[in-house]
Structure 1
Amino acid sequence: MKWIVVFLFFSITLKTEAQVYFSNGEMKYRQVFLDTDDFGDDYLENLEKSLEKLKNDSLRLKVLNDLGYFTHTRNLKKSLSIINKGLEEARKKGNVYWEGKLQVSQGAILLRLDELDWAEMVLKSAIEKIPENETWLLYTNLGYVFERRGNLGEAFEYASKTLKIGEKYGDEKAIAMAYSDMSNLFWKQGKPSIGLEYGLKSLALFEKRNLLDLDFDFTLHVVGNNLIKLNRLDEALGYFQKSIAIGEKYGFYNNLSDTYIALSDLYNQKGDYIAAEKSGLEALKYAELLENDFMIMRSLLSLGKSNNSIGHFSHAIEFLEKSIQVATNDFGDKYYLSLVYLELSKAYEGDKKFAKALEASRTYDKLKQSVFTAEADQRISLLQTEMNVSQKENTINLQEARLEKQKILQIFILTLAGFLVVILGISYVVLVRRKKYNLLLEKQNLEKEHLLKEIHHRVKNNLETISSLLALQTAKIDNKEFQGIMEETQNRVHSIGMIHQRLYQGGNLKTIEMKDFFLNLGEYIIDTFNASQRVSLICTMEPLELEIDQAIPIGLIVNELLSNSLKYAFPNGNKGSIKVSLSERESHLYLQVSDNGIGIGTNPEVHGSGFGTQLIQLLTRQLDGKMSLVTNSGTEVFFEFQIHKAA
């Protein structure tokens, strides 16, 4: 009887202590945010105590992994210590599976400690140790590593891997995580409309699971960020408030700091600078509780922004310089570090410290270029001008002081009056001569413009001659493959010829209007393939003019993609449409070509010589761009090109 009482006491104690309990002759464990959402203040403490009573190796390693992973929401260094202990036990017992699972948790913690290279090494080491259906969390964290480095293309690839694993095994949590990460990446790329779409899809899946976990909380924050960029501030506020409620309920310090930083930006946009600073201080509080330097530096950045907004430049400088000190020289995330230097430049400028403002602006430009692309030198030039003006104002003040001391103002005015008479006479003569000279220049410009049009006309005619020769030669070729290559070459020549035709026919000899060019190019290529009755071209873009150095490579890229769609996307006489759009935002060109055909599949068959693909890659590098391919429904290709303009 005494043994039974002791046994019951032991069982009740374990059940009280963090979901570990005895049932049907064995120890069992209810996982938080899977079997339960009971994640109170004492959960982690009780879970740690229950480890002493766990003898089953696999169950003990599972509890150690969960304890370490969820501790990272409140204390990163302690969580890493717990995971390292679990790894040591797993390796001693030769348990490869739990070694891999613990390495995934270790990588997640390391990247939050800004140990990006170590995190990447650990995560990649775990890939072969765990089953494919459980690798989605590993790929999610690898995506975070590359996102923190500013390599958004690589990060998107890992999010796509997470999505494919989720779809293959019907894992809604993996799919929701992939959508959440894509939403965050689109937000960073400055595409909030697409980001919002993916964020809402992620939230719908999380809500279907009916568990308010860490990742659901983070996705609320991401949706709010996208809404801020869309200037839907009141809607964003609702998502942030819901995120904060979950974070405070469960003690998700990292998410709380993140969301309060975003709230600070929101209140800044609303003009409520007191609320903005208060939110920044809340962000800093949770970042310091977590002992996370990455979140601390971002919290200090938000406080610098809010102080800049209200004109407290000296306070802003103090917060921003401290942010840089926390980041240190080898800080991994250059995206946020660049934002610190941008705000620091504004603060120095507001504080009349133009030399320091110029230096901070240059550092911002360098960091921004290493992550995405360098912005135009306009801001630096402006700061240089302001600094020069400030120096000239000081010189003028000294000269005026000397003039007052010397008391020669009256003599100066009389002398100046005499000079003015002479200058007026000289000015009249100069104006008459300049008028004649301007008329001569105008005449010469008209002659040069006529000559340039003639050159473009002749180039276009020569290209047409080459195209015709290619057509004649093609007609005599029996080999279908070689004949196809010749036809593709003819289309490329014709594409370039169309650009020169636009130049001599248009009013501007330097630029091409791309929407009209795409429509004419598409009509020509569709006619070439005899597909005008079954394939239509949709050009969803505003009129946009490009210089010839950009227009020709982009025209050739679109030529290749249109040809590929017509050859492979609509087999057996299928009907469909091809969409082309080109837009310019913030010194970038965004090109999108998509079709609603059969798509290329997960293992696309290589057609032809592959020259078209090589040409697209070469032209993309020539334009200092990058390409992304999406094959969810049909085929969709995105390009992002930098625009290099003279300062």
Structure 2
Amino acid sequence: MKYLIVVFCLFVCSLHSYSQYSAIDSLEQLAAKAKPGWDQIDYSVGLARLYIGGAGDYDNSMRHINIIYKNAEEQNIPVARAYALVMENIFAYNIENDREKSIRTCEEAIRIGKQYNCNDVIVFAGYQLSERYRTNFGDFQKSREIIEEILTYIDETVDDKHKANAIKTYGYILTRMGEPDKGFEYMEKAISILKKMKTDPFIDPRIGRVSAQYGDIDNLLQYAYNNMSESKLRLGRTAGSEEDLKEALKLALKSGRPRIIAWQYERMGWHYISRGYYDQALDYFTKNHKILETLSLPQHIANSNAYLAQVMTKLEDYTSADKYIDNAIKYSREKSDSLFLLERLMLKATINMRRGYTDIAEMHFDEINQIINTVNNPETYGLYSTVKGEFALYKGDTDNALKDFKKAYQVYNDATNGQGRLESSFWLANTFLKLKQYDSASYYGQLAIKYGYEQSNIAYIEKAHALLSQIYEENNLYKESLENFKLFYAFHDSVFKADAQIKLKEEQVRRDVVGYQSDIKLAKDNALLLEKQNQLYLWIGVILVIILAGALFFYFKLRNAKISIEQKNKEREVLLKEIHHRVKNNLQIISSLLNIQSRKLQEGSAKKAVDEGRSRIKSMSLIHEKLYGNDELSTINMREYIDELSSFLKNTYKPKSNIQSHISVNNMALDIDTAIPLGLILNELISNSFKYAFSDNDEGAIDISLSQLEDEYILKVKDTGPGFPEDFERTRSMGMRLIHSLSEQLNGVKHFENIDGALFTLKFKMRPITAQ
């Protein structure tokens, strides 16, 4: 009989794997028939957890918590009140976001458990309390003290799920406090217990069956895998971290519970943002946000907004980042949540600093300084020191920046936090470079690369190689500078395109296979049709077979010729791509060498000539970069090209005034023989505008348009500056001579005029090619 009860309960709980709602409905039916006392209490604990962990169902969660309280009073079971208090803690933390209440209810539950010698509820409430100190205040020391005491209460009366959670919590805390090997041992033990529970569950002697909470075992496993993944990532064990994360994702999707899935997407986003894969992080954070918008969970929506702000900051979209972080800060203020408010204010200060709003950033630092001492989390101090250091460096205060970054590095190093060590060592290298202390700069630059590879953080590996290239260049170590520049460029140029190229190849293979299968199917259909021919048409059939054989002979001959031609075309395309790639890389190396040379020259005509030569090389390099990256190897999308060229020149000349670039180009493509001279003309005109058209305090604009009128193309470049000098067209400068020569090469008609600024117009004809 006992065996049948176990099997029946496991069957009911397994329904949860198919649907959150079917599990709840099944348990509600069983709860309605349950006897007062421990039977009803257990069902209500299980149901309350499902309602809280689902969509945050306020009414049904409280209904079952009240059932537990009612049984405690009417059935004279004082310890049942402790279970109700633990559920109130979960409710307060997840739905009400009342951190103080969650701690208060846990402490009261532990007191009752000790009073009535109920180890099960002591362990249940104890690991919850430990988690609250860690998540509410970041106080790992207090959290560790609690859980180490709680572990002493584990015996045969404690339910396996509470035992596993307590062990998992202790393991996670150990990995965060510098004892990773011991920590992973405990977490693996917890996962082993949870897996065993699915086939050999604990029988609660008070009810003679498996607890109603066992429908949530997959959810507990999901949390354990996430803790393992996060701990491994912090220690640079990225391969194992990603494997654990994928296991957690499978369990989340299997649950079918929107809130659990949303939370898992958040964990996925955190993983990828920590590794510098910002597009993937944005994808998961966006999925998380979309689900949460359908649920009434303001705390989780605030968290989601904070994560979106982080990834937007990494992507340098500070306007979007500012919008998201404001929502998260508003919620933290309302709830007086010091830990999260601190982290969000620091991100807000960083956003405003990078936007150039230093006064506003100062105001945020004033508020941060008032509340920083209310938390007891070393890593929060590490983040605080990093943000302070960046702000000091931004203001040119290198001495204080150095102090702050050293403090951050020490905090992260003590906590064995790989991501923190990566960021702080990168900033230390930057600061020592500013101080021209090249040995120290290269030391921390190499450290940043080391930690970047340990964390598999592609974004920081690329940035660190670029930084080292600059450090070695300024230290006159040109060979080492060029080596690091090549590594920077290799990551920048190739890594982020790899996935797209692989997918493209897979799609090409898929299409070839589908086409081949279609040919086979058609041939089989024709064969079946021939077999059904009437005997009367036998001779006609023979003739048709001969004709068909001849046709097939010529078909396969033509097909083989076509395949041969296609193969040669593919080889030609590969060769052309490689040529464009090499030309682009060689031009880029020349540009880099000119840049190195330019930095060694004093301001004057020589430096100006080198800088102008570099920008002309860049305009040609962009052409080859576009051809290398396109499927169409003979044309360039002019809208994309002009946009990138304009951005490059703006970053090169860095005008102090606020200059807006407006680009109006239809979706057209030009061949390389037209695009290169046109690009060089644009380079001269845009550079001329940035250099001469605006004074330091001006606000102005540069308008660029390329349009088509019948068979004629019209290029216009206009700025809102003072206009061309009277003798501008007679100037014999290199730039002016290039414009005259290249306009003739295009068989174009050019015109300079002053209309509310300088306006250049070029009209030329060519055969139009529409961009695909």
Give the alignment's TM-score, normalised by structure 2: 0.46
Task: Summarize the Cα distance change of 1:36–1:188 in structure 2 as closer, same or farther, 3 Å threshold.
Answer: closer
Structure 1, residues 579-633: CA drift from partner, whole Å, max 9, x if none?
Answer: xxxxxxxxxxxxxxxxxxxxxxxxxxxxxxxxxxxxxxx97xx7xxxxxxxxxxx
Q: What's the Cα RMSD here? A: 4.4
1:385 to 594, 605, 618: 594
1:317 equivalent in structure 2: 442
Does the 8 A contact of 1:90 with 1:98 survive in 2? yes
Per the alignment, residue 368 of structure 1 pairs with: 492
Deviates most, 291-300 or 66-75: 66-75
> Do 1:237 and 1:263's aligned partners in 2 also have CA atoms closer than 8 Å?
no
Alignment of 1:537-552 (within 5 A): 544-545=703-704
- Aligned pair 1:350/2:439, yes or no? no
Identity of aligned residues (%): 15
Q: Is the 8 A contact 2:133 2:143 kept in 1?
A: no
Instruction: Identify the match of residue 303 of structure 2 among 177, 190, 193.
Output: 177
Paired with 2:222 and 2:173, the residues of 1 have a C-alpha distance of 17
Structure 2 vs 1, CA of residues 508 and 343 (structure 1 numbering), >3 Å: closer, same or farther? closer
Q: 1:159 to 1:325 in 2, by over 3 A?
A: closer
1:89 alignment partner in structure 2: 193
Structure 1: give runs of 5+ residues left out of the alignment. Answer: 1-6, 8-13, 393-493, 512-540, 550-617, 623-647
Q: Quick check: 1:127 aligned with 2:241? A: no
- Specify which of 227, 239, 263 is matched with residue 105 of structure 1: 227
Aligned ranges 1:250-269 → 2 under 5 Å:
250-269=375-394
Indicate if the aligned counterparts of 1:228 and 1:236 stay in contact, CA closer than 8 A. yes
Equivalent position of 1:198 in the other structure:
324
Secondary structure at 1:168 match in 2: coil
Shift of 1:379: 7.8
1:224 alignment partner, SS class: helix
Q: 2:350 pairs with 225, 234, 253, which one? A: 225
The aligned runs of 1:213-612 (5 Å cut-off) are 213=339, 215-239=340-364, 249-328=374-453, 331-370=455-494, 380-381=589-590, 383-385=592-594, 544-545=703-704
Change (3 A) 1:93 1:228: same
Give CA deviations for 1:131-166 in whole Å, capped at 9, x if unaligned.
432333321121123334443232112112221332
Amino acid at match of 1:345: S
What's the CA shift for 1:376?
Answer: 9.5
Distance change in 2, residues 1:351/1:67 (3 Å): same
Q: Which amino acid aligns with 1:285?
A: Q
Shift of 1:179: 0.8
Q: Check whether the contact 2:277–2:459 (CA below 8 A) recurs between aligned residues.
A: no
Label 1:389 to 1:221 Cα distance change in 2 as closer, same or farther (>3 A): closer
Kindly indicate whether the alpha-carbon contact (under 8 Å) linking 2:137 and 2:376 is maintained by their aligned counterparts in 1: no
Contact 1:107 1:141 in 2 (8 A): no
Q: Given that residues 18 and 47 in structure 1 are in contact (C-alpha distance below 8 angstroms), is that contact kept between their aligned partners in structure 2?
A: no
CA separation of 1:543 and 1:82: change in aligned 2, threshold 3 A:
farther
CA distance in 1, matches of 2:592, 2:142: 54
Report the counterpart of residue 23 of structure 1 in structure 2.
Answer: 112
1:412-434 CA distance string (max 9 Å, x none): xxxxxxxxxxxxxxxxxxxxxxx
**Deviation digits for residues 489-517 of structure 1, max 9, x if unmatched?**
xxxxx976999xxx9xxx99988xxxxxx
Q: Secondary structure at the match of 1:311?
A: coil
Pick one of 56, 63, 78 that aligns with 2:159.
56
* Match of residue 606 from structure 1: none
Q: Which moved more, 1:86-95 or 1:64-73?
A: 64-73
Aligned CA distance change for structure 1 residues 89 and 386 (closer, same or farther; 3 Å): same
Q: What letter matches 1:353 in structure 2?
A: L
1:126 to partner: Cα distance:
2.1
> For 1:71 and 1:245, how far apart are their aligned partners in 2?
30
The aligned residue for residue 632 of structure 1 is none
Aligned residue type for 1:48 = E
> Unmatched 5+ residue regions in structure 2?
1-78, 80-102, 199-216, 498-580, 602-664, 683-699, 709-769
CA shift for structure 1 position 381:
3.5
**Worse overlay, 103-112 or 230-239:** 230-239
Q: Secondary structure of the residue that 2:236 maps to in structure 1?
A: coil
Residue by residue over 1:83-118, the C-alpha shift from the partner in whole angstroms, topping out at 9 and shown as x without a partner, is: 323212212223333112211222222232333343
- Whether 2:323 is the aligned partner of 1:114: answer no
Matched, 1:162 2:288: yes
Aligned residues: 404
Partner amino acid for 2:457? D
Counterparts of 1:221 and 1:390, CA distance in 2: 35
The CA distance in 1 between the partners of 2:372 and 2:189, in whole Å, is 27
Give, in angstroms, the shift of residue 230 of structure 1: 0.6
Alignment TM-score, normalising by the size of structure 1:
0.54
Task: Give the conservation status (yes or no) of the 8 Å contact 1:186–1:195.
Answer: yes
C-alpha displacement at 1:227, in angstroms?
1.5
Distance 1:366 1:497 in 2: 30
Where 2:110 maps in the other structure, the secondary structure is strand
**The residue matched to 1:114 in structure 2 has which SS?**
coil
